[in-house]
Amino acid sequence: MLQEISINKIKGFSIGHAQYQEAATGCTVIINKNGAVTGVDVRGGSPGTRETDLLKSENLVQETHAVFLSGGSAFGLGVADGIMRYLEEREIGFDVGVARVPIVPGAILFDLTLADASIRPDASLGYQACLNAETMKEVTNGSIGAGTGATVGKCLGPTFSMKGGLGTFAIKIGELQVGAVVAVNSFGDIFDPKENQIIAGTYDRENDQLLHTEEQLLSQLDKQTNRFSTNTSIGTIITNAKATKSEMNKLASMAHDGFARTMRPSHTLVDGDTIFAMTSNEVSVDLNIVGMLAVQAIERAVINGIKHAHAVDGQPSYKDIIKNK
């Protein structure tokens, strides 16, 4: 029977957040000290990533030791230095004779328009996220980690956007475990398939009304949408299913359906939507089932990120809208 579980119950993985609250930015790290077979699928048109080429199916490296999600735009890629230092200090990584080299891919989102744009996630914050992963008993959702400064629904600019966030969700059936960690920072609106309605996005604060991004875009047909550059949703699937790197790449690709189901529109030219997929490689199962559950996990993680977020720097949250109803 399918059962919802806490994502920190997925064996072999630890998750940590760290943030510069005053600057409304942060990062999230997913660690597997024993090494996780990892794939990735970069689907959006404006990605910012690190070490994704080595995850191509034809390339040598099969396992990673951590994956990070970060705010700060391209500056946020610097958190990897702190994560690598943390892992190297604990002798985690590939032994190349003269050193142990941790493999740490990651992706960033744009959140510089909130609070202080001169403060970004850096190596110190990446290191702190790893320390926090050691003691984090329950992984928090909302305006935390990589979702600290995330926003959604930006087709009419920041005065009409809403707060995004960091969401998690995990499920198990038998011995199989599948979970997702997502930083929700989409150009489009967020649609909850269970409620069959848009729950966050382009928002008219004066009239307390969601305006629907797709409808707004149709009314701006003669304008260039690449003027919107403050987006990108990023996430990671974690599981214990046995799989090869090529199969994990396919799993990451399948998981993007969770973005498509919840973000309207998704995978645009102004989003850098990226999903990693990591496995501890323990349980033999039908990977079609793993892919199906990965989609569900991404979908619910997106909704959790929105529903648990709180207002930051004047950006109203889902909770604020509900209070007004």
Give tens-digit pLDDT for 118-171. Answer: 999 999 999 999 999 999 888 889 999 999 999 999 999 999 999 999 999 999
- Residue-level pLDDT at 188: 95
pTM over 0.75: yes
**CATH code for the domain of 171:** 3.60.70.12
pLDDT at 229 over 80: no
pLDDT at 195 over 60: yes
Range of the domain at 129: 3-324
4-26 average pLDDT score: 96
Which amino acid, residue 4? E
More confident residue, 163 or 221: 163
More confident residue, 73 or 223: 73
More confident residue, 155 or 325: 155
194-211 average pLDDT score: 95
263-273 average pLDDT score: 91
- Residue-level pLDDT at 324: 63
More confident residue, 272 or 292: 292
Domain count of the fold of the chain: 1
Contacts 24+ apart (CB under 8 A), 155-160: 155/187, 155/188, 155/202, 155/213, 155/216, 155/217, 155/220, 155/225, 155/228, 156/202, 156/211, 156/216, 158/113, 158/230, 158/315, 159/205, 160/202, 160/203, 160/204, 160/205, 160/211
- Residue-level pLDDT at 139: 85
Tell me the per-residue pLDDT of 77-92, one tens digit each, with 9 for 90 and over. Answer: 999 999 999 999 999 9
- Residue-level pLDDT at 224: 62
DSSP-assigned states of every residue in 202-253:
SEETTTTEE--HHHHHHTTTTS-GGG--S---EEEEEEEE---HHHHHHHHH
Which amino acid, residue 186? S
Say if residues 113 and 152 touch (Cβ distance below 8 Å). no
pLDDT at 69 over 90: yes
- Residue-level pLDDT at 45: 86
pLDDT at 66 over 60: yes
- Residue-level pLDDT at 228: 58
Average pLDDT, the chain: 94
- Residue-level pLDDT at 223: 67
pLDDT at 225 over 60: no
- Residue-level pLDDT at 44: 84
Which amino acid, residue 270? V
Is the alpha carbon torsion for 253, 257, 260, 263 positive or negative? negative
